[in-house]
Amino acid sequence: MASSLTLPAVGLGVYRAAPEECYESVLKALKLGYRHIDTAAFYQNEADVGRAVRDSGIPRSEIWVTTKLWIDDIQGPGTTTAAFQKSLRLLDIGYIDLYLIHAPADGGRRLEAWKEMEAIAKQGLTRHIGVSNYGIKHLEELLAVATIKPLANQIELHPFLQHRDLVAFCQKNGITVQAYSPLTKARKLNDPVVVEVAQKVNKTPAQVLIKWGLQKGAVSLPKSVQEGRLKENFEVFEWTIPESEIAKLDSLEEGLVTGWDPTIWE
């Protein structure tokens, strides 16, 4: 593992992307300049992500690939390692850049899984390890015993679900926040405030939602399979949203969960 790649600020999420659709969208994204792909065992498309990475012609060391351990695969000693090896085999790209626990399984199991993930990281099979959908209490529990600190916590994050205390905790403890569903699964693309801000900065509502997360210090993981949208979602680097407009977006908090919220689990 010779890569020294750092975590790219925008990645492609591939949740619920069907196999061939996933392969094509990853290939298109890589050609457009994306260098960060986020998959998971639960998505059942790791093999397609890996095939696209191999077929892209881009050196492996230049592409960041994240995958995740599904909670039902944590069933006792050795099961986390077995699940990781399956993901590694399906991806077939040599190593994984970031391996996450997909959600906080019950206490004993999640700590057991982390211990195995630390061993995997020490073997060099994954460059980094982290968590997803962890709340503050889950992170406090983990940080109390971890010998390797989680690189990231991946959570649903957008102006309508800001997780302010959790984000502040992560930032205080040097844990990168990754935002999934930054586009609210398209539910809020027509929100009047989002549209108003988009018009003021001459960008699309989707670009404004992604940029809001970036300006909050999060890594953004928008999902699309359409080339035009892939391009649009990636054109978020050469401009900023003024703080006065960020404040308007900050006022939109309403606790909108578009999928699930394991951060509140025991």
| Chain segment 92-139, per-residue pLDDT in tens | 999 999 999 999 999 799 999 999 999 999 999 999 999 999 999 999
Share above pLDDT 70 across residues of the chain, in percent, rounded to a whole number: 99
User: 54: which 2 tokens?
Assistant: 């191999």
C-alpha to C-alpha distance for 105 and 72, rounded to whole angstroms? 8
Residue 164 CB neighbours (<10 A):
10
pLDDT of residue 19: 83
pLDDT for the residue numbered 89 = 98
Residue 16 confidence (pLDDT) = 87
Residue 3: its pLDDT value, please?
A: 67
**Lookup result for tokens 């077939």:** 92
pLDDT in tens, 15-49: 989 888 999 999 999 999 999 999 999 999 999 99
- pLDDT at residue 2 greater than cutoff 90: no
Question: In this predicted structure, what is the pLDDT of residue 47?
Answer: 97
Indicate if the pLDDT at residue 1 is higher than 70.
no
Q: Which residues pair with 64 in a beta bridge?
A: 36
Which pLDDT score, from 0 to 100, does residue 20 have? 87
Provide the annotated active-site residues. Answer: 43
In the predicted structure, residue 243 carries a pLDDT above the cut 70: yes
Each residue's pLDDT tens digit, 168-220? 999 999 999 999 999 999 999 999 999 999 999 999 999 999 999 999 999 99
Average pLDDT (215-236) is: 97
Average pLDDT score over residue span 57-65? 97
The pLDDT assigned to 107 comes to 76
Please name the residues in contact with 176: beta carbons below 8 A apart, sequence gap of 6 or more: 7, 130, 151, 152, 153, 170, 218, 219
* Interval 221-243 mean pLDDT: 97
Is the separation of the CB atoms in 46 and 76 below 8 Å?
Answer: no
Residue 115, Cβ neighbours under 10 Å: how many?
A: 14
Contacts of 156 (CB under 8 A, 6+ apart): 163, 179, 180, 181, 257, 258, 259, 261
Mean pLDDT of 143-150: 98
Sheet harboring 12-13: ordered strands across?
12-13, 36-38, 64-69, 96-101, 126-132, 152-156, 176-180, 219-221
Identity of the amino acid at 201: V
Q: Confidence class of residue 146 from pLDDT cuts 50, 70 and 90? A: very high
